[in-house]
Amino acid sequence: MTITYREALRTAIEEALRRDDRVFLMGEDVGYYGGTFAVSKGLVEEFGEDRIRDVPLSESGFVGAGIGAAMGGMRPIIEVMTVNFSLLALDQILNTAATMLHMSGGQFNVPVVIRMATGAGRQLGAQHSLSLENWYAHIPGLKVVVPATVDDARGMLWTALEDPDPVVLFEHAGLYNREGELTLDGEPVDLHRAAIRRAGTDISLITYGFHLFTCLDAAEELAQRGVDAEVVELRSLRPLDTETFIDSVRKTGRAVVVDDGWKTGGIGAEIGMQIVEEAFFHLDAPIRRVCRAEVPMPYAAHLEQAALPQVDDVVEAALHLVKPHV
């Protein structure tokens, strides 16, 4: 069945609400408005205002309330609209949700799922085009997942709700309208394993989220130039499945990491260092990174696209590593 990423997320929330009476959705405009990205459209009519809760414009307040509800036995799904607004709740996420199990000596889990849109490409300017999933992946006590396919958009939510600890789920806003083939029948999806989305032998393209499709398109273009690229989708940034991408690099001998965030201090740097530590002697060329430009995101469409990783950027980086050898 072909559905959009948005429809997959709505289906996941709807199924969770039906499966477990403890599940409820809360966030800004998630009720009768249907959510800023229309993910929760129609849910309040079916499940009522007790389980689809509109909240005031106070991220710290409603995220804190959701954390308290989780500690009290509920299974809240908190929608923070966009990642930039989550900074107003960072104290609750970092200093409460992520640390509570440790600080309580193992007495209190916080089984909360926090959803938010991330990413640029929609001309929303510097404040609404951030990709800060790297920041959250830095925090012990959190799981950070980045579904890119409709299967993962549907299946990861239920797995996250079953987790006893907080899970932050990043949805790239550029994916909401993207269609895909739903192949799984609603079963939970492993949050801990990366996926090989395209097998190859010459170079590994390692990425997550929206840029899975950038890398798949780049791999097709590289194939026309005689380069067989393997595409590794991380799916989770914490925990990071190092085994899968290390095995890929050991096979291909070359790696390009495509990161939606800034290069400085980004997840691409972490992946590169993991490769150096675990597979240095398998490398036939230096690791390359393709990231967004180190600037606040421009509003103008042509400048925004110039600041973001593009297919041509990935192809150029890969050919730089492979060309002398093919």
pLDDT mean over 153-164: 95
CA 213-6-119 angle, to 5 degrees, is 50
Sign of the Cα pseudo-torsion (314, 317, 321, 325, in order)? positive
- Would you state the pLDDT for residue 326? 52
What secondary structure letter does DSSP report for 113? E
What's the CA angle centered on 278, arms 272 and 280, to 5 degrees? 70
User: Rounded CA gap, 313 and 156, in Å?
Assistant: 30
Q: What pLDDT, in 10s, does the model give residues 217-264?
A: 999 999 999 999 999 999 999 999 999 999 999 999 999 999 999 999
> Is 324 a residue whose pLDDT tops 70?
no
Homologous superfamily of the 2-181 domain (CATH): Thiamin diphosphate (ThDP)-binding fold, Pyr/PP domains (3.40.50.970)
**CA-to-CA distance for 317 and 295, rounded, in angstroms?**
21
- The answer to whether the CB of 113 falls within 8 A of the CB of 128 is no
Residues 6+ apart with CB under 8 A from 6: 37, 38, 39, 176, 177
pLDDT digits (tens, 9 = 90+) for 95-136: 999 999 999 999 999 999 999 999 999 999 999 999 999 999
Residue-wise pLDDT for 23-70, tens only, equals 999 999 999 999 999 999 999 999 999 999 999 999 999 999 999 999
Q: Fold for domain 195-325?
A: Rossmann fold (3.40.50)
Domain ranges of the chain: 2-181, 195-325
Is there a common fold for 2-181 and 195-325?
yes
- Return the axis-axis angle of helices 150-162 and 5-19, rounded to nearest 10°: 30
Contact 198, 219 (CB under 8 A): yes
Q: Give the residue numbers annotated as catalytic, written as ranges.
A: 59, 128
- Inform me whether the pLDDT recorded for 325 exceeds 60: no
CA–CA gap between residue 175 and residue 150 (Å, rounded): 9
Radius of gyration of the chain (CA): 20
pLDDT tens digits, residue range 266-315?
Answer: 999 999 999 999 999 999 999 999 999 999 999 999 999 999 999 999 99
